[in-house]
A and B are shown apart, each in its own frame.
Chain A
Amino acid sequence: MTNMINPATISRPDFAAIAAWIRPGAKVLDLGCGDGSLLHYLQERRDIFGYGVEIDDDNVLGCFKNGINIIQNDLESGLSSFESASFDYVILSQTLQAMRHTEIIIKEMLRVGREVIVSFPNFGYWKNRIQVVSGHMPVSETLPYHWFNTPNIHLCTLGDFEALCDQQNAHILERIVMNGDRQVKILPNLMGVLAFYRFERRG
């Protein structure tokens, strides 16, 4: 049996941050799931039952090889294959910034999941700000692309994202901000590299 999951990915702090929020045995939908590494991680650590959604052929094949439930589909067309409130958690891990229809996917995740977990690179991180102030679009570890070849078309800061949540009637349950494997508690919108949010439908 072939298993493509690279052991190095298992120590990813962003996976650990998400796993800490997931109840054991939960039903999970991972949107833009890549080769299924996160779902595999959650199966091992949290005994979840889950599905991934992914558009890229190589990633879908990776999921097949890794034995991960996978639906090849374009997230931009919504989540019509999934019933309302049919998952305990819907995860969008470092994909939001590359999506065209940001508001639609937030709405759809709130419909399908009892809770939603979103992570994204914080554009407000001080190193990004310095690059912008010095006259350049930021290029960094979490934003490794140049302005002309980046798939990241909807970058935001913590403050921006929280405003969108409010507008979409999402109630934020928890937020974690990371810099490498450290959690950032002071001035997160300035010091944080990756942001993680757990939220649900308000009311």
Chain B
Amino acid sequence: MQASNSVGVITPQYVHIDKPLHLKSGTVLNSYNLVYETYGKLNPERSNAVLICHALSGSHHVAGIYADQPKNVGWWDNMIGPGKPIDTNRFFVIGVNNLGGCHGSTGPASIDARTSKPYGADFPVVTVEDWVETQALLADHLGIEQFAAIGGGSLGGMQALRWSLDHPERVRHALVIAAASNLTAQNIAFNDVARQAIITDPDFCGGDYYSHNTLPRRGLRLARMLGHITYLSDDSMAAKFGRELREGKLSFGFDVEFEIESYLRYQGDKFADQFDANSYLLMTKALDYFDPAGAYDGNLSEAFRVIKANFLVLSFTSDWRFSPERSHDVVKALLDNNVNVNYAEITSSNGHDSFLMVNDYYHQLVHAYMDNIDL
């Protein structure tokens, strides 16, 4: 595997969409920006486009680096590039920052033209369906009628699945990795604890912290620490940190003592510096609301009737946040509809985060699947 093959220096691009977006919540967003990146070349037939959808904390920066930030490597750089499983010598790959995000697409920190102030708490709640609509408009803008593939992990996989339902003619292959057809009560519970951590931070100021010149860093940090625990597995934490002490001995206080505490606090701090708390709230809501079977009395097979795409479904054995059993539900509903599907359960100790990591079997599977996509 040519893991060192990078798409190189990338420049993000912007599209301004003036067409009013009727959100699932009933709210209308009159205009908005989307920031995106592309890797590889669109072929003359326009048949080799691949859309990569990001998860909770991801962005449009999927692969490569920036000229002024050589260490800012895209979040799925190990998967996407020349000679990599999603081969940019063959495919034209697009990464887009979702509406409501905080990496350049219009979101809560953007200025609301009506008030000349940041949207803050007034930014509407967005859903996976809404994202798919905006991504379809981006595809129109790029002249892509049909994607060779749309994929992602976790919340990104949910968007790929939604695409196959909302625009069955526009996606030939859906790559649904470490995802589920909806969240379990336990999963929603984790999300709500994260939201409560943010909302109850006194610096949250009802979501309008921008105008108060403050940031709910403590809340966002806690939300991320909690999330991070659930993205790992007991085994991987035991292997990486065990009960190791930073100073080699107990200090009988509440400062950092165990290595795991140090790691989580560092991750929390780093995240609180770079992510917008309102965006975090929105992303977790989009996760909670996702439920394609909801409109069909919980019958996922009914919901999948319209699917025309072929499916790649992957799960990871140690992922307890989006467990293999949840992927089995998706596979079963696909089988009920005679959909072409390749499903593999990958042995990994890295929990939900496995989908972001290098694993030979995982990457070989994606590579083999992508190689068989006709252009």
Contacts and interface: CB of A to CB of B under 8 A. Distances in A.
Contacts of B365: 60-61, 64
Contacts of B336: 83, 86
Contacts of B361: 57, 61
A73 B372 CA distance: 22
A142 interface: no
Contact of B369 (A51, A64, A73, A83): A64
A2 interface: yes
Given A61-B368, A64-B365, A71 B338 contact: no
Interface string A45-78: 0000101000001001101110101111100000
B72 interface: no
Contacts of B372: 1, 64-65, 67
Nearest to A64: B368
Contacts, number: 54
A65 B368 contact: yes
Q: Main SS of the interface on chain A?
A: mixed
B368 A2 contact: yes
Contacts of B344: 57, 60, 64, 70, 72
Given A27-B338, A49-B338, A61-B361, A71 B331 contact: yes
A125 to B, nearest CB: 37
A13 B336 CA distance: 32
B345 interface: yes
A69 to B, nearest CB: 5
A147 interface: no
Contact of A69 (B328, B342, B364, B371): B342
A64 B365 CA distance: 7
Nearest to B315: A72
B340 interface: yes
A51 B368 CA distance: 17
A81 B342 contact: no
B205 interface: no
Contact of A81 (B331, B338, B347): B331
A131 B267 CA distance: 65
A63 B347 CA distance: 18
Interface residues of A, number: 22
A27 B372 CA distance: 22
A145 interface: no
Q: Main SS of the interface on chain B?
A: helix
A71 B343 contact: yes
A61 B364 contact: yes
B201 to A, nearest CB: 43
B332 interface: yes
Nearest to B314: A72
Contacts of A27: 338
A81 B328 contact: yes
B364 A73 contact: no
Interface in B299-337: 328, 331-332, 335-336
A49 B336 CA distance: 13
Nearest to A61: B364
B188 interface: no
B136 interface: no
B345 A73 contact: yes
Contact of A72 (B340, B345, B369): B345
B293 interface: no
B245 interface: no
B341 A69 contact: yes
Contacts of A72: 343-345
A6 B343 CA distance: 23
A82 interface: yes
A49 B338 CA distance: 9
Contacts of A61: 361, 364-365, 368
- Most chain B beta-carbon neighbours within 10 Å: one of A70, A71, A82, A86: A71
Contacts of B328: 81
Interface string A76-91: 0000111100100000
A61 B347 CA distance: 13
A82 B371 contact: no
Nearest to A74: B345
A106 to B, nearest CB: 21
Contacts of A60: 344, 365
6 pairs of A and B residues whose beta carbons are closest in the complex: A64-B368, A72-B344, A65-B368, A67-B372, A81-B332, A71-B343
Interface of A: 1-2, 27, 49, 51, 57, 60-61, 63-65, 67, 69-73, 80-83, 86
Interface of B: 328, 331-332, 335-336, 338, 340-345, 347, 361, 364-365, 368-369, 371-372
26 contacts: A1-B371, A1-B372, A2-B371, A49-B338, A51-B335, A57-B344, A57-B347, A57-B361, A60-B344, A61-B364, A64-B364, A64-B369, A64-B372, A65-B368, A65-B372, A69-B340, A69-B341, A70-B342, A70-B343, A70-B344, A71-B341, A72-B343, A72-B344, A81-B328, A81-B331, A81-B332
